[in-house]
């Protein structure tokens, strides 16, 4: 990889350096122009047209895809389901992950082994998880309801009762919560011990130490996890698809119709690309707004150590 | 031309470099950092706390491990007993592990998934590190802005580019082939570029200055110095992408679903087998084959984790640090 002859303006050396730099990042530039920026522009164009896959032609549609979006009650259903799922899943994931991380962080013996055990579900491919949970969650024979019956609880029809469909997906998601846990664990281990010692000398109990030392110190990790988990929750697809939407014949209830599922159905089952592209842009806007709100709120509560360069 | 890197420097670089790793590695190692409860260590309250912690840890472990035990047991059961929730099969039927290969084109699926995952992971590792090296060590107009764009694309929801990417691959004539499942990895991926750049920046700058003075070309600096020193972060990127590709259900659904089952990847294959065999969705009930297949698709990941646990956890801890 040789750099060619130089011209004035920058020094010869600077110019060679710049050319080398551009050459190194050129794969990303090409990919960005085609698969990100190009794709986004393309998507915007498609959302304003009626696209025919068979003939690869598009005729202008004006705002009709967006109008159809607003008028389709299923879009609202999907949006409501997704929002409900996110509101249910994200706090539970954060709480469980933080709880497990705190347990591991205060454990002397076997912490590494426990961490490994908690992490195994995260390594399990989602198809395998779903194929097992499909049976564990079975209302009449499933192990979860058998277990609940053993302690005197009459378990619900997880996969059939519309009210329990979202909790059953949350349960599956919680099983793989270790990714979030590991991020908390790293944050907890970065809290300087002298802060705890100082707090103890000031007479702070365990709870006060957690509330006034641990929580502020790990607030960047909490913020990061909430942000990332929310974005992921809004795009929930695999679990819902595997449990409820594998085949088109099976008339699954509207309660499991999540936004990404409906988008997928519109695009790749109905070949309604214009509508699907419009749906994607609506989702983009919603995620953007929610992320911005979270960042504003986050800025008020998150404590960043100023001297630590990021 | 010999590499200007001295062995001693490499050693040092290794110690300095994986800075993100440090805190996590302490997870199980350092008793010094563990002084969380000052004062009398074995007060009655402390002892109760310790017991409660053990109970919670063991209880959670049991809950987290139960589905694995359930899956393992179910994979050895005959047709009528798959759903009986026994952790030790009443009737052992190890033949499942042979018959599954007659029932499902599992070998083809595993081959497809393996090929795609290796290609996807290798390509994204190399391309991302090239790009990261460009951002880390060269000054050029627009560098900061472009790197800002890299970071911004990390926040872009995948759903937004799903449809147009399909249409692009369709126009290139690759729908129905495996190419769309690894093709975009030729161009690097934002998170991995970020991760690799962090790693490159942690390498001592003097190495590269010395090499430049010795007349090593930009490519030589990458290939002879940065590349050999970045093996730890390569492993992280490779493993992450391998796992993501191995898990990729949506991509397979979009690009392979209409084709012949022989061309499926394992996730798509098992999804179709779930429908075929699950009695609750109208299948004919030999669900033990799904269980065997699920176990077989999981095993490579567990083995990967056994060898690369450190890398997985370091990589995740780093992702948390960018927030």
Identify from A125, A139, A256 which residue to disrupt to test chain B contact, counting B C-beta atoms within 10 A and taking the largest count. Answer: A125
- Cβ–Cβ below 8 Å for A24 and B131: yes
Is the pLDDT score of B74 beyond 80? yes
pLDDT of B22:
37
Is the pLDDT score of A74 beyond 90? yes
Interface of B with A in 118-137 (CB under 8 A): 127, 130-131, 133-135, 137
What whole-number distance in Å separates Cα of residue A230 and Cα of residue A158?
23
B38 assigned to some structural domain: no
Is the pLDDT score of A208 beyond 70? yes
CATH of domain A69-301: 1.10.3720.10
Higher pLDDT, B36 or B286: B286
Query: Average pLDDT in the A7-11 region?
Result: 65
The pLDDT confidence band at residue B160, using thresholds 50, 70 and 90, is confident
- Cβ–Cβ below 8 Å for B281 and A246: yes
The pLDDT confidence band at residue B21, using thresholds 50, 70 and 90, is very low
Is the pLDDT score of B7 beyond 50? no
- Cβ–Cβ below 8 Å for A39 and B249: no
Is the pLDDT score of B100 beyond 70? yes
| Minimal-distance CA residue of chain B relative to A112 | B28
CATH number at residue B101: 1.10.3720.10
pLDDT of B79:
86
pLDDT tens per residue, range B43-65: 677 788 888 999 999 999 999 99
pLDDT of B35:
46
ipTM of the complex: 0.88
pLDDT of A251:
56
Residue A53 to chain B, least CA–CA distance (Å):
8
Is the pLDDT score of B301 beyond 50? yes
The pLDDT confidence band at residue A108, using thresholds 50, 70 and 90, is confident
* Nearest CB to A175; choose among B67, B130, B161: B67
Measured distance between the N- and C-terminal CA atoms of chain B, rounded to whole angstroms: 42
Give residue limits of the domains in chain A: 12-66, 69-301
pLDDT of B2:
38
Residues from chain A contacting residue B127 (CB–CB below 8 Å): 27-28
B240 assigned to some structural domain: yes
Establish if B154 touches chain A: CB-CB under 8 angstroms: no
- Cβ–Cβ below 8 Å for B157 and A284: yes
B170 assigned to some structural domain: yes
pLDDT tens per residue, range A25-42: 999 999 999 999 999 999
Q: Which of A54-68, B9-23, B115-129, B275-289 has the highest mean pLDDT?
A: B115-129
Establish if B253 touches chain A: CB-CB under 8 angstroms: yes
Residue B227 to chain A, least CA–CA distance (Å):
13
The pLDDT confidence band at residue B323, using thresholds 50, 70 and 90, is very low
A126: Cα separation from own chain's centroid: 14
Identify from A98, A135, A159 which residue to disrupt to test chain B contact, counting B C-beta atoms within 10 A and taking the largest count. Answer: A135
% of chain A with per-residue pLDDT over 90: 59
Query: Average pLDDT in the B271-282 region?
Result: 78
- Cβ–Cβ below 8 Å for B187 and A27: yes
Secondary structure (H, E, C), chain B: CCCCCCHHHHHHHHHHCCCCHHHHHHHHHCCHHHCCCCCCCCCHHHHHHHHHHHHHHHHHHHHHHHHHHHHHHHCCCCHHHCCCCCCCCCCCCCCHHHHHHHHCCHHHHHHHHHHHHHHHHHHHHHHHHHHHHHHHHCCCCCHHHHHHHHHHHHCCCHHHHHHHHHHHHHHCCCCCCCHHHCHHHHHCCHHHHHHHHHHHHHCCHHHHHHHHHCCCCHHHHHHHHHHHHCHHHHHHHHHHHHHHHHHCCHHHHHHHCCCCHHHCCHHHHHHHHHHHHCHHHCCCCCCHHHHHHHHHHHHHHHHHHHHHHHHHHHHHHHHHHCC
Identify from B114, B164, B175 which residue to disrupt to test chain A contact, counting A C-beta atoms within 10 A and taking the largest count. Answer: B164
Residues from chain A contacting residue B282 (CB–CB below 8 Å): 249-250
| Minimal-distance CA residue of chain A relative to B305 | A123
Domain hosting B232: range is 95-321
Residues from chain B contacting residue A133 (CB–CB below 8 Å): 67
% of chain B with per-residue pLDDT over 70: 83
Is the pLDDT score of A129 beyond 90? yes
Query: Across all residues in chain A, what is the average pLDDT?
Result: 88
Identify from B65, B157, B200 which residue to disrupt to test chain A contact, counting A C-beta atoms within 10 A and taking the largest count. Answer: B157
pLDDT of A265:
92
Query: Average pLDDT in the A284-288 region?
Result: 93
pLDDT of A138:
87
pLDDT of B209:
84
| Minimal-distance CA residue of chain B relative to A280 | B160
pLDDT of B77:
92
**Token code pair at residue B92:** 């052992």
pLDDT tens per residue, range B210-239: 888 888 888 888 988 888 888 888 999 999
Is the pLDDT score of B322 beyond 50? yes
Query: Average pLDDT in the A279-292 region?
Result: 93
Establish if B10 touches chain A: CB-CB under 8 angstroms: no
Query: Across all residues in chain B, what is the average pLDDT?
Result: 83
Residue A156 to chain B, least CA–CA distance (Å):
16
pLDDT tens per residue, range A78-100: 999 999 999 999 999 999 999 99
- Cβ–Cβ below 8 Å for A227 and B71: no
pLDDT tens per residue, range A215-260: 999 999 999 999 999 999 999 999 999 998 887 655 567 889 999 9
pLDDT of A71:
93
pTM score, whole prediction? 0.86
What whole-number distance in Å separates Cα of residue B245 and Cα of residue A96?
27
pLDDT tens per residue, range A38-59: 999 999 999 999 888 777 777 8
pLDDT of B283:
56
Is the pLDDT score of A7 beyond 60? no
Helix (H, G, I), strand (E, B) or coil at A273: helix
Is the pLDDT score of B8 beyond 60? no
Domain count, chain B: 1
Query: Average pLDDT in the B20-43 region?
Result: 44
Residues from chain A contacting residue B134 (CB–CB below 8 Å): 20-25
Interface of B with A in 41-70 (CB under 8 A): 53, 56-57, 60-61, 64-68, 70
- Cβ–Cβ below 8 Å for A43 and B295: no
What whole-number distance in Å separates Cα of residue A157 and Cα of residue A145?
9
Query: Average pLDDT in the B282-293 region?
Result: 82
B247 assigned to some structural domain: yes
Identify from B175, B239, B320, B321 which residue to disrupt to test chain A contact, counting A C-beta atoms within 10 A and taking the largest count. Answer: B320
């Amino acid at each position: 990889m040789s750099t060619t002859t130089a011209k004035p303006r920058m020094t010869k050396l600077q110019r060679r350096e710049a050319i080398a730099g551009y050459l190194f990042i050129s794969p990303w530039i090409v990919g960005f122009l085609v698969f990100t920026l190009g794709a986004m522009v393309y998507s915007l164009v498609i959302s304003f047209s009626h696209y025919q896959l068979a003939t690869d032609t598009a005729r202008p549609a004006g705002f009709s895809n967006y109008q159809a979006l607003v008028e389709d009650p299923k879009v609202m259903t999907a949006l409501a389901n997704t929002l409900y799922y996110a509101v249910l899943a994200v706090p539970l994931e954060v709480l469980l992950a933080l709880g497990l991380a705190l347990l591991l962080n205060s454990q002397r013996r076997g912490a590494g082994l426990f961490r490994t055990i908690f992490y195994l579900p995260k390594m399990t491919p989602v198809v395998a998880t779903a194929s097992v949970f499909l049976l564990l969650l079975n209302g009449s024979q499933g192990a979860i309801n058998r277990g609940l019956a053993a302690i005197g609880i009459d378990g619900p029809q997880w996969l059939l009762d519309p009210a329990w469909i979202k909790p059953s997906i949350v349960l599956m998601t919680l099983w793989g919560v270790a990714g979030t846990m590991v991020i908390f664990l790293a944050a907890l281990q970065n809290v300087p011990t002298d802060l705890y010692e100082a707090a103890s000398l000031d007479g702070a109990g365990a709870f006060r130490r957690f509330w006034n030392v641990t929580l502020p110190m790990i607030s960047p990790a909490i913020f990061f996890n909430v942000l990332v988990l929310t974005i992921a929750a809004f795009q929930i697809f695999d679990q819902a698809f595997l449990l409820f939407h594998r085949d088109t014949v099976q008339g699954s209830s509207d309660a499991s119709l999540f936004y990404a599922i409906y988008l997928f159905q519109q695009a790749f089952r109905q070949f309604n690309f214009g509508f699907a592209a419009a749906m994607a842009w609506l989702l983009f806007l919603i995620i953007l707004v929610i992320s911005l709100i979270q960042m504003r709120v986050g800025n008020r509560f998150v404590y960043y150590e100023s001297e630590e360069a990021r | 031309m010999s590499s200007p890197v001295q062995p001693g420097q490499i050693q040092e670089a290794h110690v300095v470099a994986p800075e993100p790793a440090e805190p996590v590695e302490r997870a199980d190692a350092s008793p010094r950092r563990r002084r969380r409860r000052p004062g009398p260590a074995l007060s009655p309250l402390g002892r109760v706390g310790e017991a409660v912690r053990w109970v919670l840890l063991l209880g959670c472990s049991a809950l987290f491990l139960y589905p694995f035990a359930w899956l393992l047991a179910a994979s050895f059961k005959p047709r009528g007993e798959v759903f009986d929730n026994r952790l030790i099969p009443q009737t052992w039927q190890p033949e499942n592990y042979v018959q599954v290969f007659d029932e499902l084109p599992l070998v083809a699926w595993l081959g497809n998934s393996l090929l795609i995952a290796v290609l996807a992971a290798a390509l994204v590792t190399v391309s991302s590190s090239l790009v990261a090296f460009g951002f880390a060590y060269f000054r050029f107009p627009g560098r900061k802005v472009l790197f800002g764009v890299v970071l911004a694309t990390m926040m872009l929801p995948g759903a937004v580019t799903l449809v147009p990417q399909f249409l692009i691959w369709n126009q290139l004539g690759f729908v129905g082939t495996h190419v769309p499942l690894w093709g975009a990895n030729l161009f690097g991926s934002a998170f991995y570029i970020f991760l690799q750049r962090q790693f490159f920046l942690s390498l001592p700058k003097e190495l590269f200055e010395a090499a430049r003075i010795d007349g090593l070309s930009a490519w030589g600096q990458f290939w002879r110095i940065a590349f050999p020193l970045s093996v730890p972060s390569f492993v992280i990127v490779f493993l992450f992408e391998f796992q993501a590709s191995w898990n990729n259900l949506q991509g397979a659904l979009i690009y392979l679903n209409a084709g012949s089952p022989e061309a499926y990847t394992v996730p798509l294959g098992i999804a179709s087998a779930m429908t075929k065999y699950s009695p609750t969705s109208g299948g004919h009930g030999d669900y033990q084959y799904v269980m065997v297949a699920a176990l077989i698709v999981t095993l490579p990941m567990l083995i990967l984790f056994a060898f690369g646990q450190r890398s997985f956890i370091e990589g995740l801890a780093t992702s948390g640090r960018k927030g």
